[in-house]
Amino acid sequence: MARITAGVGVSHVPAIGVAMDTGITDQPYWKPVFDGFQYSREWMKEKKPDVIFLVYNDHCTAFDASCIPTFALGAAAEFQPADEGWGPRPVPVVKNHQKLASHIAQSLILDEFDMTIMNEMEVDHGLTVPLSVMFGEVAPEDEWPCLVIPLAVNVVQYPAPTGNRCFQLGKAIRKAIESYPEDLDVMIFGTGGMSHQLQYKRAGLINAEFDTMFLDMLTEDPVKLSKMPHVDYLREAGSEGVEMVMWHVMRGALNDEVKEVHRHYHVPASNTAVGHIILENVAA
């Protein structure tokens, strides 16, 4: 049987990828950002997942205004890193566990979650930066240490799905994974956030108090947190802070009770508050 072993929440910022790709992670601006992932990289090596189910958002790379799926599940054999304007990132192609992805698609759709199925898709910084910070530098000719099933969530074009919808989807993903017969350790990543606004008058907004409350409640009262309306994210965490609804998919897929084994929070990284949490399932 496949099982979900742990959840990871982690921000994505394009400049973090650039810092790793250009070898400047030891510079004073970047060192504190990356120091907070040292524990996580050791933890990944110890836990060795077979598959990561990676919840992320596309930034008008694979999708644009012509097609806006709320939930798009990657079913292709592999996903190339996209060219976001400066050439594709020098990281390996992302390889899927196609059979598990197909099983999850079937289980979710029959469970009344109307997924879009992606049989071709390039992936942007929303997916590759979380992999990079958690695994460290991996050369493009090498392989990522595990297979990855991407789930792209629309948080760019209003309306994004609610936190509650994301939380319920997490529960359905867990049911799908636990009904797959192969013996697999699966981790689930919820990515994006934390507080940041890239546009107009409040560009540069950061709210550490809100972010800390979010991280605390993710462990302690995830159901209440998942019911927070969009307007609270926009007001408190900025227009791009709404990316945080994706963390509820991760939390919904875990046990009611989880153990927080690591947390990291740092400002600034580009325009964004970088937040990171590792939650392990407590045995029932």
Binding residues for ligand DHB (CB under 6 A):
12-15, 59, 196, 198, 240, 270-272
59 assigned to active site: no
- Closest-CA residue to 61 (of 115, 146, 6, 126): 126
Helix 163-178 × helix 98-110 angle, to 10°: 120
**DSSP class of 93:** P
Closest distance to ligand DHB from the beta carbon of 125 (Å)? 6
**DSSP class of 159:** P
- Closest-CA residue to 152 (of 24, 12, 277, 33): 12
Q: How many angstroms separate the CA atoms of 155 and 237, rounded?
A: 14
Q: How many angstroms separate the CA atoms of 282 and 103, rounded?
A: 26
Closest CB to ligand DHB among residues 146, 206 = 206
Closest CB to ligand DHB among residues 196, 263 = 196
262 assigned to active site: no
Closest CB to ligand DHB among residues 84, 280 = 84
Closest distance to ligand DHB from the beta carbon of 57 (Å)? 8
Q: How many angstroms separate the CA atoms of 218 and 248, rounded?
A: 8
Torsion of CA 188, 21, 72, 240, to 10 degrees: 90
Closest CB to ligand DHB among residues 87, 261 = 87
The one catalytic residue among 97, 103, 125, 264: 125
The one catalytic residue among 12, 97, 196, 248: 196
Question: What phi, psi does 70 have (nearest 5°)?
Answer: -70, -45
Tell how many helices (H) and how many strands (E) occur in the chain.
10, 10
Closest distance to ligand DHB from the beta carbon of 192 (Å)? 6
- Closest-CA residue to 128 (of 23, 56, 193, 75): 56
Does residue 132 contact residue 125 with C-beta atoms inside 8 Å? Answer: no
Closest CB to ligand DHB among residues 124, 280 = 124
Closest distance to ligand DHB from the beta carbon of 11 (Å)? 7
Whose structure tokens read 């927080």?
260
Closest distance to ligand DHB from the beta carbon of 268 (Å)? 8
Residues designated as active site: 125, 196
